[in-house]
């Protein structure tokens, strides 16, 4: 909390004896200046992450108490105006911008966000002026290269050069909490679930802090134009049948299990098959790009005498987790991604 310290006495500061006209006038001017300064600071603070014309909502979760996840609603919203500037929320599947990120913390903790969730400064969330709520966004600190997936569930910021307001924990993870701001790239990934499931955010955070699991991100834009000729795997399926005969574990499942991704319930597991290539380098590039979303691998297979390289994520024990991951993978550019069962 910001505190404003005044001199111990008007006499010491103003050079006049207490009770004189000079000291009285000085005290009056000093008090007016302090009031103006304090008002400006309050308005400035309230403009971060919220509309400046609105007062803070009531704190519904006290500091130090756990904040429930989710609980909001999907929201795009109508155009609105803040400080003379009009913002137009919309679906923006191709959103990819560079700008300045800031962060907001304790003042807003435990209060409602723009879509009805409750802000948690310790969660991996963010505020954005125009993206739908809640959605996933990938934020990259261009100074240190750190990348994080966050849940966008609030509106703001409204300073001219800022494009996203991160939660305190997100700012810490990206390494700019002390600096206050950072130059970042923000990319829209897709809608987030209303139940507040934070699997993708936590997986991204774990990769960020574990060099052994973090993978280099490789751009594959140049390869995408060649995908149609390379993607010819007839084993890709678009839906999971309600009933399916139990199959013996495939070679790929054996590889998954040997990597430590076990299935304690001995049930069929779900995977995202992002693509299948005849060119191994294309598959490796896509695997590296999708590693932010969870465990990803390239698995070769032979189909009708031809060699293919499948790019898969998973496994997922629950259908809603696979659905959630599929939405993000498709919105990242892998439009042929499908859910499969092994």
Comparing C-alpha atoms, which of 198, 213, 105, 96 is closest to residue 150?
198
**What integer is the mean pLDDT of 324-337?**
80
pLDDT at position 28: 61
Helix pair 199-208, 319-331: axis angle to 10 deg: 70
- Residue 315 or residue 43, greater confidence: 315
At residue 30, the pLDDT reads 60
21-58 per-position pLDDT tens digit? 444 555 565 655 565 555 544 444 433 434 333 467 88
Q: Is the pLDDT of residue 148 over 60?
A: yes
The whole-number pLDDT of residue 210 equals 54
What pLDDT, in 10s, does the model give residues 105-142? Answer: 999 999 999 999 999 999 999 999 999 999 999 999 99
Q: What is the mean pLDDT of the chain?
A: 74
DSSP state of 31: H
Residue 123 or 241, more confident: 123
Q: State the pLDDT at residue 247.
A: 43
How much is the pLDDT for 102? 96
- Give yes or no for residue 175 having a pLDDT over 50: yes
- CATH of segment(s) 80-208: 2.40.40.10
> Can you give the pLDDT at residue 47?
39
Which residues lie across from 141 on neighbouring strands? 184
151, 203 Cβ separation under 8 angstroms? no
Pick the CATH number of 221-241+248-341 from 3.30.70.100, 3.40.50.200, 3.40.50.2300, 3.30.70.1070: 3.30.70.1070
């Amino acid at each position: 909390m910001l505190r404003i310290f005044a001199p111990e006495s008007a006499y010491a500061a103003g050079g006049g004896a207490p009770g004189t006209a000079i000291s009285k006038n000085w005290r009056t001017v000093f008090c007016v200046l302090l009031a103006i300064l304090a008002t400006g600071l309050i308005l400035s603070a309230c403009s971060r992450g919220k509309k400046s014309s609105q007062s803070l909502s009531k704190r519904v979760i006290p500091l130090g108490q756990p904040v429930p996840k989710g609980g909001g609603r999907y929201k795009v919203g109508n155009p609105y105006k803040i400080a003379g500037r009009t913002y137009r929320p919309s679906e923006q599947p191709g959103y990819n911008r560079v700008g300045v990120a800031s962060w907001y913390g304790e003042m807003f903790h435990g209060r409602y966000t723009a879509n009805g969730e409750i802000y948690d400064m310790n969660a991996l969330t963010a505020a954005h002026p125009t993206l739908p709520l809640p959605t996933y966004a990938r934020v990259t600190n261009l100074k240190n290269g750190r990348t994080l997936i966050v849940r966008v569930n609030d509106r703001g910021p409204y300073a001219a050069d800022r494009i996203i307001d991160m939660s305190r924990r997100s700012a810490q993870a990206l390494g700019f909490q002390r600096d206050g701001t950072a130059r970042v790239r923000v990319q829209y990934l897709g809608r987030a679930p209303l139940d507040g499931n934070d699997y993708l955010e936590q997986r991204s955070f774990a990769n960020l802090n574990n060099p052994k699991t973090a993978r280099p991100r490789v751009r594959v834009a140049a390869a995408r134009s060649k995908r149609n000729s390379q993607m010819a795997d007839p084993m890709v399926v678009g839906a999971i049948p309600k009933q399916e005969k139990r199959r013996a574990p495939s070679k790929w499942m054996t590889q998954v299990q040997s990597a430590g991704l076990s299935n304690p319930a001995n049930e069929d597991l779900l995977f995202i098959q992002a693509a299948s290539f005849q060119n191994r380098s294309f598959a490796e590039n896509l695997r590296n790009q999708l590693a932010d979303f969870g465990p990803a691998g390239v698995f070769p297979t032979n189909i009708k005498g031809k060699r293919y390289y499948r790019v898969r994520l998973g496994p997922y024990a629950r259908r809603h987790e696979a659905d959630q991951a599929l939405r993000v993978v498709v919105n990242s550019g892998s439009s042929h991604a499908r859910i499969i069962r092994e």
